[in-house]
Amino acid sequence: MNTKSFRITGSDVFTAIQMYLAYYFAKAQMLKMMVSVQGMTINWLLCALIFISLNLVISIGLYGKTRSHSALQTLIIYAWWVVLLVPTVTIAFIKCAWIGQDTLILTLIIVAATIVSFWGRANSRSMADPVIRGILIGLFRVVPHLYLTYRVILAGSSRGLAPGAVWAANITAFARIATLCIQGHKSNWDKGTKAMLLAESANEGSWLLVTLMWYIYR
């Protein structure tokens, strides 16, 4: 038997840590929503699930092409997030009311996505272009994060956000960015990895703003 193929690498440990932190985030936020949803929105978690699912689709395609270990790790990370976010989003639908602003946010995302698509065509960029795909996927985090920031300020409270979930989201986002950078280095920066990295960077940048408002209004 070739035991070398079963050797655990540093990147495997890094993947396991990310999976644990993702679990910690989901558990903390689900428990918090059982107590308070003040400052929370359904869109925040629903769009997170869409964001992760779109990245999962790209990661599945990349693994199908490369069959590389780093691509598999990325696929596993996103698949695990989907597994965790499904029950989290379900609880959000049960505990939070769907309001007109939630519809507005989804409308804004669709409008923004349409504008980006037309801009891409005007600049001879297809939907396969990593910049276009990255921006389109990133919209599902940036717009809800900006709206969540507004809701926290409006409510004057961020009690609906679990402290552990806030920090875990930051750490896991930076970890995914690091994973994608490693994968990009190994794959000579294929289009899929570039798209996911751009989307994740937009995700974390906007989440840092949410984190700031959470800290101010906690």
Query: Which tens digit of pLDDT belongs to each residue from 104-152?
Result: 889 999 999 999 999 988 988 887 888 899 999 999 999 989 988 988 8
* Assigned domain for 26 exists: yes
For residues 205 and 82, give the distance between their C-alpha atoms in angstroms, rounded to a whole number: 21
Task: Give the chain's domain count.
Answer: 1
For residues 50 and 141, give the distance between their C-alpha atoms in angstroms, rounded to a whole number: 9
The pLDDT of residue 186 = 80
- For the segment 141-175, what is each residue's pLDDT rounded down to a tens digit? 999 899 889 888 988 888 878 888 889 889 999 99
* Assigned domain for 134 exists: yes
Mean of per-residue pLDDT scores for the chain: 88
* Assigned domain for 7 exists: no
Q: Which of 127, 120, 132, 108 is nearest to 43 (CA)?
A: 108
* Assigned domain for 5 exists: no
pTM (predicted TM-score): 0.85
- For the segment 60-104, what is each residue's pLDDT rounded down to a tens digit? 998 998 888 888 999 999 999 999 999 999 999 998 888 888 898
For residues 82 and 59, give the distance between their C-alpha atoms in angstroms, rounded to a whole number: 13
Q: Which of 25, 39, 218, 58 is nearest to 144 (CA)?
A: 39
C-alpha separations of 20 from 13, 46, 169, 179 in Å? 11, 21, 12, 15
Domain that holds residue 187: 14-217
pLDDT at 211 over 90: yes
* Better-scored residue on pLDDT, 52 or 102: 52
* Assigned domain for 64 exists: yes
